[in-house]
A and B are shown apart, each in its own frame.
Chain A
Amino acid sequence: MVSAVYIIIAALAAAFILGFLKEQWRGLAYVITLAALAFMSWVSAGWVWALGWQGAEAVDILTAGTEPPFAINLRMGLPEAVLTLLVNLTGLLSALYLKEVLFRLGRRSLVVLLIAIMALSGIILTRDIFNLFVFFELVVISTGGLILLSDDVQSNSRALSAGFKYLIASQIISVLLLVGIIFAYHATGTLNIDGMAGADLMALQGGVIAFFLMFIAIVAELKPFPANGWALDIYESAHPAFSAIFSAATGAAALYAVDKLLLIGGVSWLPVATAIGIVTFVVSNTLALSQSNDRRLLGYSSIAQIGLVFTVLGQRDILGDDYYYIAFGVLIAHAVGKAGLYWLSGLVAGRGLTDWSALRGHPLLIFAFLTFVFLLVGLPPFPGFYAKWELARYLAAEGRLALLALILFGALIEAGYLFRWFGYIIKRERPAQGVVSDPLKQVVIFAAVVAGWAMAFLWGELSGRANLLLALPLLFALAFLLLEWLPAWFKNIVAISGLVGYFAMTYTEYDPLRLIFIIIFTLGGALTLLASFHTSGKRIGFYPGAMLMYAGLVMLIRATDSFDFFAAWELLTIGSYFLILRGKHSEPHALSYAIFSLAGAFSILAGFALAADGAVHFTIQSLSEVATPLAPWVFILLAVGFMTKTAAIGLHIWLPGAHAEAETDVSPMVSGILLKAGLYGLMMLMLGMGIQELHGIKLNYVMLWIGALSALLGNLMAIFEEDAKRLLAYSSIGQMGYALFGLALMNHLGWLMALMFVINHYIYKSMLFMSVGGVAKRTGTRDMYRMGGLITLMPLSFIAVMIGIIAVSGVPPLSGFGGRWIFYNAIMSSEYRLPMLIIFLSVPVAFLYLFRLIHTIFLGQLKDEHRRIKEAPFWLILPQMIYVACLLVFALVPGIALRHVDRYLNDFFPNGGLGWDGLLITSQYGYWSPINIMIIIGVIFMLLFFWLLFVNRKAQKVKQFNIVFSAERPYRPETTHFAWNFFAPYRKALGFMVQPFVTLFWNTITDFLHAAANLVRRLYTGNGQTYAYHLLLFVVVVFFVRMGV
């Protein structure tokens, strides 16, 4: 292998040669620079290959041919190789990116660039402390030079002032560092880091202060929270390509320098590192919330990410051999993501976050943006995800829960503002100036994207678990990215056949409980996708999102290990987020959905980490073996996570907006199918952990109350809704409340009822959403009081809605009654009484909003503008009719689905099963024979109907205004259709129960965060001197905190 020192030699040689070239031979100079950078990258890549795969040993390069204390030595181990590769590659790509700027400024800027990259590689390689100082100063000087590349140097002095502030800060840092070095040398007698580490500097006289000065100087390079005003100004004003180098390369080099220093400092300094790191991570992320300039936001985000890596460095004592896997996972994800975003910001003209909506015309660039956001937030399948999982596992094992909570909180905020930004891109109206279409810059960006996905694959391989990228469902979903150019109907066929094929391939492997869920997710999904034929064009972004959700759902069912379960959970969350975001006004709702779901996912992550207690592979089944002191907390964390997905009361405010604003064929998917993932999670949890107790309170009793309250309040809120889809959304909250109640009963019939609700809710909710979507598509509005009298124009939709509401309200002939019957038998045999009372109130309440739905849309007075509307599109009607058939079949023969599950549940809840003999279903208390009921009601109904038809065979068909109107002539259809504020008396009586307290609660939290961010960011006044004060103050404070306390 080529010796590592050639990296530095190549850079210096190239810089030297450039000196000889004529001023106007710019092309040649540029080529030489690129060649040098390429060579340096090739050398470090060679070392990465040798050390990583060939199994070679770390090599020490003795520069002066003698042992360290008397000469500087460089070391090339695996970490150094990876980091130098990262630095050199970033340098090369940025050089490519800066082509025309470098051409304009000539060869002097090329030299400065080469020196900068060489200095960064030097920082990583050198093992000598003074040499480290020299390389740091080289970085300072070259950074000072590179900042001036920024294009707005001519226009205003922002870049200049940022550079000057940086130099002020670096002066202070160099003073501290030099004093620290000399005293450390004086104490230990050597300048070599390994030598100092061996000499146990702490014990020597004055050693602690010396180390502190060195340590705090290098940490100041990492831009810690109070002392990073100068860094933000650089990020905001410098050329984006330089900011990419500054955040990815300089950040990585400085981090590794601190890591080397910590070898000297020993374990006692790790808590200080963790404290500084976590404060920087959380506070910088919070401050990023209130940013509107894109580069300054990226600056805050990069400071936060470096803070996170610094926290990981601070945890090196407990992370053991996974230390590099986690640290590099987070670092590389940050580097690639941040560099990519900076390069992307070079293409966008406007600097506001909403100006990025110019990207909308370029799907590839949006895919790039998404890849970088995924890298930063740490979503599967990217390295950050694996790193976060392992980190959580170690932290939970060590009991450092506060730290874990802070990390997850910071990650949640970061996800929040990045997804908010993505929402702006997709939804805000596009600015006049389009995207700069410079092919070279786009090549650089896509290089970063490819690097991101390569790292994802690599981290999957290294993780020792099933590599996510090799999971068949995920691959199938990602394949749709390649099919984006095809027409929508073709992709729809591929998607449906994929789902059905997957079911046909694997349906034998599931037990009855999972079989029901798999049928709903795959066959049900295929059925819902039928409705997607009604659209035209390419529908860019719909199928990858949808298939990602279905992939997540399917992998969730098949997951046995907690890691796969969690990965599937996050995949389905992201997939459904993309689906919801497609709605016209769905941006804020999709964002709140994403944040709630991610918060839920993080609580699940914490729950699994806590339960695993250090074990690398923790299966779902082994939830039952969790030790008693931890078990209730694990139960709570996991239950909260799953309940955010089933929108239990308190965590439900995202659901109405998300389901109502989604597209016509997305609402059924998100509402009918996605909510079941939460229920499946709860089932696995309760099957595993059974009834838990915390301080004497049974946790499933608490869930009973939550389920009951969700049922009641969900239904009550649905009554007073004017928007049809929001009404259905609130009703979903109510239905999920029922299912949660059934599960929490923890007896045989309770679970059977929950499953009955799972099936019923899927069928009728998808059907109702489709029919309401079809009506909204035809009438152009979702407000119910604007519709009316559509029964003659949209008869099939009417039939679907009527069958739907009969099923939902639980009136006998249809399957809803089955759910209620099992519910009654379940509560008969359970010993809880009070929560049931709330359920009893919510049973009839469901009746009200269902009637309101059908009355205001289909019956009553037909408005003028709706006189010529056609029936809903065929492809929306077909699935509805299939659902009607399903409902009737399920009403007649519930046994086909429930019988097997009933027997399967016997081994969890032995007593209380149902008897399935012939047509009659008997339980311990009562009996129910669906077929007889249907026949009897049918016969009576038909008899009376034909009798009435016979008697009224000569009836005169009249129109809408031939009504008894107290002998007056009705004025207009709008004034005679009673639909607005339909249940006014009910609101007078029970209105107090639907005041939006929960929304108020969550709004105050977010407002508090924004206010705090707005307040704290005032700290950066923009004055270089104040930044110097901050730096010194930071040094003094850390000193006293470390020494004094």
Chain B
Amino acid sequence: MKEELEKRIVKGPDGIEFEVEPLRDYYCEAAPTVMPQAYSKIIEGFFNWARAESLWILGFGTGCGAIEMRPLMTPRFDAYRYGVQWRPTPRQSNLFIISGYLSVKTLKRAIRSYEQMQNPKYVIGLGSCTINGGMYWDSYNTIKCLDDYLPVDLYIAGCMPRPEALLAGFEELKKLIRAGKAEGANQYAENFEWYKANQKKVILDWDMPDYNW
């Protein structure tokens, strides 16, 4: 446990001594809950349509696939046409693209960003490294199967898939969302312990509350 997270006795300006427990005082320790669908089928369908048409990607490039995502915003591929947009903060983004191999250190940050995103949220894994470890299959510090750690909605094969593949992937994801089958967030909430156990097995210095809002 890092020094700044240890429990400590602090003296207030009026002289009263009290205990400050950083993990409990600084962070919200609530677990994620399963968010129900909207009021009725039609409204949920309509919302799914809107969610599909305006996919906001989190600007978080891990691994070599990130370089493929930049051209999406250039004139040649221009993902804006499909309502896709970059968002710098996880709060405002719905789609998290894990673009390539994921070292354990990056996994810790990826989980933190994923958990700060709002429900519903989708994850796309690029390339074979996220499927089965790819060419780093026997590496000591990358994760081999992304599915154990994050609920992935779509994989785009290719080492690394070109922008056109990404655009096709987005179309595929839109179909999933419109069909209502992209409920990764609720799935994560349902078997949260399982996911968290897997993650802690790999990330040894997990000095955070389980779910980082």
Q: Is B28 a contact of A867 with CB atoms below 8 Å?
A: no
Q: How far is the CA of A781 from the CA of B14 in the complex (A)?
A: 11
Which residues of B lie under 8 Å from residue A868 when comparing CB positions? 12, 16, 18
**Shortest Cβ gap from A589 to chain B (Å):** 24
Q: Is B16 a contact of A957 with CB atoms below 8 Å?
A: no
Cβ-defined partner of B112 (8 Å) among A779, A956, A967, A971: A967
Which residues of A lie under 8 Å from residue B100 when comparing CB positions? none
Cβ-based interface call for A625 (8 A): no
Which residues of A lie under 8 Å from residue B26 when comparing CB positions? 959-961, 970, 973
Q: How far is the CA of A964 from the CA of B91 in the complex (A)?
A: 8
Task: Find the B residue at minimum CB distance from A961.
Answer: B26
Q: Is B13 a contact of A967 with CB atoms below 8 Å?
A: no
Q: Is A959 a contact of B13 with CB atoms below 8 Å?
A: no
Cβ-defined partner of A867 (8 Å) among B4, B12, B30: B12
Q: Is B28 a contact of A957 with CB atoms below 8 Å?
A: yes
Q: Is A961 a contact of B27 with CB atoms below 8 Å?
A: yes
**Shortest Cβ gap from A213 to chain B (Å):** 74
Q: Is A959 a contact of B28 with CB atoms below 8 Å?
A: yes
Q: Is A867 a contact of B207 with CB atoms below 8 Å?
A: no
Cβ-based interface call for B25 (8 A): yes
Cβ-defined partner of B13 (8 Å) among A779, A961, A970: A779
B:5-24 near A, CB below 8 Å: 8, 10-14, 16, 18, 20
Q: Is A864 a contact of B10 with CB atoms below 8 Å?
A: yes
Which residues of B lie under 8 Å from residue A972 when comparing CB positions? 4
> 1/0 contact trace for A889-903 toward B, CB 8 Å?
000000000000000
Q: How far is the CA of A870 from the CA of B15 in the complex (A)?
A: 13
Task: Find the A residue at minimum CB distance from B109.
Answer: A967
Cβ-based interface call for B155 (8 A): no
Which residues of B lie under 8 Å from residue A869 when comparing CB positions? 12-14
Contact A956:B208 (CB < 8 A) given known A778-B14, A864-B10, A869-B13: no
Q: How far is the CA of A969 from the CA of B18 in the complex (A)?
A: 24
Q: How far is the CA of A964 from the CA of B20 in the complex (A)?
A: 23
Cβ-defined partner of B213 (8 Å) among A779, A958, A967, A970: A958
Q: Is A962 a contact of B212 with CB atoms below 8 Å?
A: yes
Q: Is A956 a contact of B30 with CB atoms below 8 Å?
A: yes
Contact A956:B28 (CB < 8 A) given known A962-B213, A969-B207, A969-B208: yes
Cβ-defined partner of B109 (8 Å) among A957, A962, A968, A971: A968
Which residues of A lie under 8 Å from residue B18 when comparing CB positions? 867-868
Cβ-based interface call for B187 (8 A): no
Q: Is A967 a contact of B20 with CB atoms below 8 Å?
A: no
Across chains A and B, the number of contacting residue pairs, with CB separation under 8 Å, is: 64
Q: How far is the CA of A685 from the CA of B44 in the complex (A)?
A: 74
> 1/0 contact trace for B76-102 toward A, CB 8 Å?
000000000000011100000000000
Q: Is A867 a contact of B10 with CB atoms below 8 Å?
A: yes
Cβ-based interface call for A910 (8 A): no
Cβ-based interface call for B186 (8 A): no
Q: Is A865 a contact of B12 with CB atoms below 8 Å?
A: yes
Cβ-based interface call for A75 (8 A): no
Which residues of A lie under 8 Å from residue B195 when comparing CB positions? none
**Shortest Cβ gap from A978 to chain B (Å):** 17
Name the interface size band of chain A: 20 to 34
Q: Is A780 a contact of B207 with CB atoms below 8 Å?
A: no
Q: Is B14 a contact of A971 with CB atoms below 8 Å?
A: no
Cβ-defined partner of B28 (8 Å) among A870, A958, A973: A958
Q: Is B25 a contact of A781 with CB atoms below 8 Å?
A: no
Which residues of A lie under 8 Å from residue B27 when comparing CB positions? 959, 961-962
Task: Find the A residue at minimum CB distance from B91.
Answer: A964
Which residues of A lie under 8 Å from residue B28 when comparing CB positions? 956-959, 962
Cβ-based interface call for B116 (8 A): yes
**Which among B8, B10, B13, B27 has the greatest number of chain A C-beta atoms within 10 A?**
B13
**Shortest Cβ gap from A276 to chain B (Å):** 60
**Shortest Cβ gap from B108 to chain A (Å):** 9
B:175-213 near A, CB below 8 Å: 207-208, 212-213
Q: How far is the CA of A911 from the CA of B25 in the complex (A)?
A: 64
Q: How far is the CA of A940 from the CA of B91 in the complex (A)?
A: 27
Task: Find the A residue at minimum CB distance from B90.
Answer: A964
A:64-78 near B, CB below 8 Å: none
Q: Is B112 a contact of A865 with CB atoms below 8 Å?
A: no
Cβ-based interface call for A585 (8 A): no
Cβ-based interface call for A108 (8 A): no
Cβ-based interface call for B60 (8 A): yes
> 1/0 contact trace for A939-963 toward B, CB 8 Å?
0000000000000000011111110
Cβ-based interface call for B113 (8 A): yes
**Shortest Cβ gap from A271 to chain B (Å):** 65
**Which among A779, A864, A957 has the greatest number of chain B C-beta atoms within 10 A?**
A864
Which residues of A lie under 8 Å from residue B13 when comparing CB positions? 778-781, 865-866, 869
**Shortest Cβ gap from B111 to chain A (Å):** 9
**Shortest Cβ gap from B1 to chain A (Å):** 12
**Which among B8, B12, B60 has the greatest number of chain A C-beta atoms within 10 A?**
B12
Q: How far is the CA of A865 from the CA of B19 in the complex (A)?
A: 10
Cβ-defined partner of B11 (8 Å) among A865, A956, A958, A964: A865
**Shortest Cβ gap from A977 to chain B (Å):** 13
Cβ-defined partner of A967 (8 Å) among B8, B60, B207: B60
Which residues of B lie under 8 Å from residue A780 when comparing CB positions? 13-14
Task: Find the B residue at minimum CB distance from A968.
Answer: B109
Contact A971:B213 (CB < 8 A) given known A867-B10, A956-B28: no
**Shortest Cβ gap from A967 to chain B (Å):** 4
Which residues of A lie under 8 Å from residue B91 when comparing CB positions? 964
**Shortest Cβ gap from B164 to chain A (Å):** 29
Q: How far is the CA of A981 from the CA of B212 in the complex (A)?
A: 31
**Shortest Cβ gap from B91 to chain A (Å):** 6
Q: How far is the CA of A867 from the CA of B113 in the complex (A)?
A: 28
Q: How far is the CA of A636 from the CA of B180 in the complex (A)?
A: 82
Q: How far is the CA of A780 from the CA of B11 in the complex (A)?
A: 12
Q: How far is the CA of A959 from the CA of B91 in the complex (A)?
A: 15
Which residues of B lie under 8 Å from residue A870 when comparing CB positions? 14
A:373-395 near B, CB below 8 Å: none
Which residues of A lie under 8 Å from residue B109 when comparing CB positions? 967-968
A-B contact pairs, 19 of them (CB 8 A): A779-B13, A864-B20, A865-B12, A867-B10, A867-B18, A867-B25, A869-B14, A870-B14, A956-B213, A959-B26, A959-B27, A961-B26, A962-B27, A964-B91, A967-B90, A967-B110, A967-B113, A968-B112, A972-B4
6 closest residue pairs by CB, A with B: A780-B13, A967-B109, A961-B26, A958-B28, A962-B213, A958-B213
Interface residues of B (CB under 8 A from A): 4, 8, 10-14, 16, 18, 20, 25-28, 30, 60, 89-91, 109-110, 112-113, 116, 207-208, 212-213
Q: A864-B8, A867-B12, A869-B13 are in contact. List 7 more A-B contacts (CB 8 A).
A: A778-B13, A864-B20, A866-B12, A866-B13, A867-B18, A968-B109, A973-B26
